[in-house]
Amino acid sequence: MTPAVKLTLAEVCRVLEAEVLTGGETLDATQVTVGAGADLMSDVLAFINPEAVLLTGLANVQSIRTAVIADVKALVYVRGKQPNADGVALAEENGLPLLCTPLTMYEACGRLYQAGLPPCLLPPRCAHDNDEVQTGI
Amino acid sequence: MTTTKFRREFDVVGDDFAGAGRVSTEIKALLKRVGYAEQTIRRVAIAVFEAEMNVVMYARRARITLDMDPEGVRILVDDVGPGIPDIEVAMQEGYSTATDRMRQMGFGAGMGLPNIRRNADEFAIESEVNSGTRVRFVVHAR
């Protein structure tokens, strides 16, 4: 593993042999500092760091909404999956670049890791995770 | 950052999977315009999004009330729906009553309520079976 690096989206695109679905004009200017792969959006919301590139096989509109909410810098669909036109429009509206790679999730993640892009830091368990839940409002 | 307090209300419709997340996206944009710190905005946005998905997946409808002041952001999600029989069980990570359809959307992993709580500085929930659930949480500005 090479030391942790930041990658521009243009570099991500090259490493993943990806096609740009939207946001092509920002590829050189946008940097990502961590990578993540997930199909479960609940997990993405629970662990993803800001400035991440998210690889997913979930090509519905919820992947885009989740990415926007969680400050994901770019979304990469694996195995050639593509969102529908509504999804692309929503990403455009929110300035979220969308890429599409023919690679599998495993290989796409592996290539980015090999290029030096580190994984997300998992959040520490919160002190109040095991507290009694306050009921009554 | 404004020094005034203000309130906005939003309606969420149950089972509207196509629109799910619209209100959270709007709230996130609003908080940006008001000028909260990025980390505060992100925590509110993630918590509201989880709450909105819960409404879409399980409830008939809900009113989301957003109160903003320089101290922080308070959210109340008040839904009309089946309610939660055992809140302590529902708060456990991984516990879920989700259907296949919900899971196909990438949700329903039993992370929603715990993730709201984790992103909030204050969290409270109450529920009545066959009536509805109220979730209130606060994210302090920093």
Residue B81 lies in a domain: yes
The CA distance from A89 to the nearest CA of chain B, in Å, is 14
pLDDT tens digit string along B34-68? 999 999 999 999 999 999 999 999 999 999 999 99
Supply the pLDDT for residue B102: 86
The CA distance from B131 to the nearest CA of chain A, in Å, is 15
The CA distance from A132 to the nearest CA of chain B, in Å, is 8
Report the residue of A69, A71, A92 to disrupt the B interface, i.e. the one with the largest count of B CBs within 10 Å: A69
| Residue contact A62–B20, C-beta within 8 A | yes
Q: pLDDT band for B101, please (50, 70, 90 cuts).
A: confident
pLDDT tens digit string along B2-17? 568 899 999 999 999 8
The β-bridge partners of B80 are B61
Supply the pLDDT for residue B108: 83
Structure tokens at A70: 């969680």
Of B50, B112, B124, the CB nearest to A134: B124
Report the residue of B12, B22, B50 to disrupt the A interface, i.e. the one with the largest count of A CBs within 10 Å: B50
The CATH number assigned to the domain holding B39 equals 3.30.565.10
B17 is in which domain, residue-wise? 6-140
pLDDT tens digit string along A66-117? 999 999 999 999 999 999 999 999 999 999 999 999 999 999 999 999 999 9
How far lies A34's CA from each of A39, A93, A101, A126, B31, in Å?
17, 24, 18, 22, 25
> Domain A7-114: which topology?
3.40.1390
Of B46, B112, B136, the CB nearest to A70: B46
Which is nearest to A34 in space by CA: A8, A3, A6? A6
Q: How far apart are CA B16 and CA B62, in angstroms?
A: 12
Residue B63 lies in a domain: yes
Residue B1 lies in a domain: no
ipTM of the complex: 0.87
Question: What is the number of domains present in chain B?
Answer: 1
Q: Exposed, middle or buried by CB within 10 Å (0-12, 13-18, 19+), for A42?
A: buried
| Residue contact B125–A42, C-beta within 8 A | no
Mean pLDDT of B90-101: 89
User: Residue ranges per domain, chain A?
Assistant: 7-114
Residue B108 lies in a domain: yes
Which is nearest to A15 in space by CA: A99, A130, A71? A99
Which is nearest to A40 in space by CA: B46, B93, B105? B105
Enumerate chain B positions whose Cβ falls within 8 A of a Cβ in A. 17-18, 20-21, 24-25, 28, 38, 42, 45-46, 49-50, 76, 87-88, 91, 104-112, 114-115, 117-118, 123-126, 134, 136
Residue B69 lies in a domain: yes
Chain B residues in contact with A44 by the CB 8 A cut-off are: 106
Check pLDDT > 80 for residue A133.
no
- Do the Cβ atoms of A137 and A22 come closer than 8 Å? no
